[in-house]
Amino acid sequence: MIRVPDIKISIDQEKTDMKATIFKKLRIREEDLIDYTIYKESIDARRKDRVEFVYTVDVEVKNQDKLLKRTKDKKIILTPDMNYKFVDRGKVKLEQPPVIIGTGPAGLFAGLILAQMGYNPILLERGKDVDHRTKDIQEFWRKGDLNPESNVQFGEGGAGTFSDGKLTTQIKDIRCRKILEELVKAGAPPEIMYVSKPHVGTDILRDVVKNIRQEIIELGGTVLFGKKVTDFIIQDGAIKGVVINGKNTIETEAVLLAIGHSARDTFEMLYKNKVEIHQKPFSIGVRIEHPQSLIDKSQYGDYANHPRLGAADYKIAHHCANQRSAYTFCMCPGGQVVAAASENGGVVTNGMSEHARDKINANSALLVGVDLQDFESEHPLAGMYFQRKWEQRAFEAGGGNYRAPAQLVKDFLKNQPSKELGIVRPSYTPGVVLTDLRQCLPGFVVNTMKEAIVALDRKLHGFQMGDAVMTAIETRSSSPIRIKRNEDYQSNLKGLYPCGEGAGYAGGIISAAVDGIKVAEAIAGKYNL
């Protein structure tokens, strides 16, 4: 097939209308076209009076080689081979199946690849399966009853299961397409294969992760819930097995560590076992909520509410005079702010959208970078302790019952506590307490956000809306550590393969899944059952 980019059609045209542009670009007649498929779809809304869809398509035509030779458009190329290829198996005998700790994107996709290759992996998840996990989370949101082992951070599917299910990534890797194909196979919307900003939505994602789990099991893998790895069995600097819940053991010499960014007790266990850990920068801040209609109007102008556009999103940043940056992250159109705590006595916020993105508010993290010098300690886990400190401050500011401290933008900019809400009604449950966010945010974060809010309004009109609500605190944007690994993906503890977001090598569903696959390939490339 031939890949043809830059095919534009207006927002009011049908997708089939792109055929005319294909004929023109390739200089072919209608009878020369055999078939075509969409490879990529994006929206060009730079001109608010003319919103267009832009496509890249893979086209099957008669006399393909002849056409490629005569075309003068260097952007028209032969469609690359996008099929995922399994690595060659290694030669070292693996006496016991590999063990995967964690069932977030890294763990699930590592398990899927190893299962597809016949390695019968054992996946251990400290939390519950997604159905029971959902019940625990809803109970927490209704009543403030936190289960430290079953929450937005821990359980089947990882933290991404209760998010927007964004599948955007900056990395270019053939494994990305493999991941999208498997997600569609497991029930994700087919359009994630080609839209420029694909998302699944938390409502659909819950069934998707169950279906991936079922495939792993059908292929010979094992998935166990309520199994927290509390220690390793180590001999001569090499891993020989894992200890579960402080008592049971599983023998293995290959452990894939996909624990996510919030497994703080596991971080401490790794440190105790002298696994090499380094501090890593991350970001903290708040969730900021605006009316979705304001975002739609700002991004799409008169085309706001057009049925083909859906809820608008944004991604903006500002470099401040204090040499720090503030930026929006994990924006959830038509979504809600959620309680994402995983430890008693701490408040954590995150954002979530269902597939329809049809809630009244838009929300995004508004974050400020935290550097290593901000930790005030050289301890490898200092970043984790820094996160915990400010989560506990937010818990106290919210009244000590998992309500979140919140403040209106107009009051935040004036350094005065909020007394009453305006037109934006916060979506966070169990609820918010209006206050002064300076109680639970570092001073440099407050100062950076104040400058950034004003500046970002010039990039997204309405961002500085006075009644917009800021809900604290978001601390889990990424892992506060990086677990060192060598060129074959092993840590200094032989047989331990750190991967994904918790190990400090990914930032999102797709990049975490890609890293999990890379580590699975490293294990398969070394061992054979």
Task: Report the candidate in 477, 475, 526 with the shortest Cα–Cα distance to residue 506.
Answer: 477
Task: Report the candidate in 226, 340, 348, 280 with the shortest Cα–Cα distance to residue 503.
Answer: 280
Q: Are 292 and 271 part of one and the same domain?
A: no
217, pLDDT greater than 80: yes
Spell out the residues 6+ positions from residue 150 whose beta carbon is closer than 8 angstroms to its own.
Answer: 127, 128, 132, 133, 136, 137
Highest mean pLDDT among 159-163, 196-200, 401-405: 401-405
The mean-pLDDT minimum among 69-73, 291-295, 395-399 falls in 69-73
CA-to-CA separations, 506 to 477, 515, 516, in angstroms, rounded: 11, 7, 10
pTM reported for the whole predicted model: 0.94
Percent helix, percent strand, percent coil in the chain, to nearest 5: 30, 25, 45
Choosing from 50, 78, 106, the residue where a domain stops is 78
73, pLDDT greater than 90: no
- C-alpha span between 166 and 147 (Å, rounded): 26
Tell me the one-letter amino acid at 526. Answer: K
For the segment 302-324, what is each residue's pLDDT rounded down to a tens digit? 899 888 899 999 999 999 999 99
pLDDT score at 409: 98
- C-alpha span between 23 and 8 (Å, rounded): 13
DSSP H or E run through 278: strand 277-279
Query: Is-contact 506 260, C-beta < 8 A?
Result: no
Query: Is-contact 460 298, C-beta < 8 A?
Result: yes
Domains of the chain: total = 3
3-state SS of 129-170 is: CHHHHHHHHHHHHHHCCCCCCCCCCCCCCCHHHHCCCECCCC
**Quick one: 219 exposed, middle or buried, by C-beta within 10 A (0-12, 13-18, 19+)?**
middle
Give the tokens for residue 197: 């900003």
Number of Cβ atoms within 10 Å of the Cβ of 361? 23
Query: Is-contact 364 329, C-beta < 8 A?
Result: yes
196, pLDDT greater than 80: yes
Q: Are 423 and 289 part of one and the same domain?
A: yes
Look at residue 85 and tell me if it is in a domain.
no
Choosing from 474, 490, 514, the residue where a domain stops is 474
Q: Are 405 and 453 part of one and the same domain?
A: yes
Q: Are 391 and 468 part of one and the same domain?
A: yes
The mean-pLDDT minimum among 22-26, 182-186, 221-225, 266-270 falls in 22-26
CA-to-CA separations, 441 to 370, 392, 431, 436, 472, in angstroms, rounded: 12, 11, 19, 10, 8
Choosing from 474, 493, 517, the residue where a domain stops is 474
For the segment 339-372, what is each residue's pLDDT rounded down to a tens digit? 999 999 999 999 999 999 999 999 999 999 999 9
- Main-chain phi, psi angles of 90, to 5 degrees: -80, -175
pLDDT score at 16: 86
394, pLDDT greater than 80: yes
Query: Is-contact 310 333, C-beta < 8 A?
Result: yes
507, pLDDT greater than 90: no
Look at residue 238 and tell me if it is in a domain.
yes
- C-alpha span between 72 and 484 (Å, rounded): 48
478, pLDDT greater than 90: yes
Q: Are 97 and 141 part of one and the same domain?
A: yes
Tell me the one-letter amino acid at 60. Answer: E
Task: Report the candidate in 367, 357, 441, 452 with the shortest Cα–Cα distance to residue 413.
Answer: 452
166, pLDDT greater than 90: no
**Quick one: 453 exposed, middle or buried, by C-beta within 10 A (0-12, 13-18, 19+)?**
buried
Q: Are 273 and 156 part of one and the same domain?
A: yes
Number of Cβ atoms within 10 Å of the Cβ of 482? 19
pLDDT score at 160: 87
Q: Are 132 and 210 part of one and the same domain?
A: yes
For the segment 87-127, what is each residue's pLDDT rounded down to a tens digit? 999 999 999 999 999 999 999 999 999 999 999 999 999 99
Q: Which domain holds residue 71?
A: 2-78
Mean pLDDT of the chain: 94
Task: Report the candidate in 510, 506, 511 with the shortest Cα–Cα distance to residue 200.
Answer: 510
Look at residue 84 and tell me if it is in a domain.
no
Q: Are 335 and 466 part of one and the same domain?
A: yes
Q: Are 333 and 453 part of one and the same domain?
A: yes
- Main-chain phi, psi angles of 230, to 5 degrees: -105, -10
pLDDT score at 313: 94
170, pLDDT greater than 80: no
Mean pLDDT within 176-204: 93
Look at residue 86 and tell me if it is in a domain.
no
Q: Are 213 and 331 part of one and the same domain?
A: no
**Quick one: 218 exposed, middle or buried, by C-beta within 10 A (0-12, 13-18, 19+)?**
exposed
**Quick one: 487 exposed, middle or buried, by C-beta within 10 A (0-12, 13-18, 19+)?**
exposed
Residue 164: which pLDDT band, with cuts at 50, 70 and 90? confident
Tell me the one-letter amino acid at 120. Answer: N
Residue 450: which pLDDT band, with cuts at 50, 70 and 90? very high
Look at residue 19 and tell me if it is in a domain.
yes
The mean-pLDDT minimum among 70-84, 132-146, 232-246, 440-454 falls in 70-84
Q: Are 300 and 417 part of one and the same domain?
A: yes
DSSP H or E run through 488: none
Task: Report the candidate in 488, 480, 523 with the shortest Cα–Cα distance to residue 259.
Answer: 480
Give the tokens for residue 350: 């995150």
Whichever domain contains 27, its CATH number is: 3.30.70.2700
Query: Is-contact 474 284, C-beta < 8 A?
Result: yes
181, pLDDT greater than 90: yes
171, pLDDT greater than 80: no
CA angle centred on 108, ends 106 and 114, rounded to 5°: 100
Q: Are 171 and 305 part of one and the same domain?
A: no
- C-alpha span between 280 and 449 (Å, rounded): 22
Look at residue 511 and tell me if it is in a domain.
yes
Whichever domain contains 249, its CATH number is: 3.50.50.60
Query: Cα(first)–Cα(last) distance of the chain, in Å?
Result: 39
CA-to-CA separations, 250 to 78, 121, 231, 472, 490, in angstroms, rounded: 49, 12, 11, 41, 19
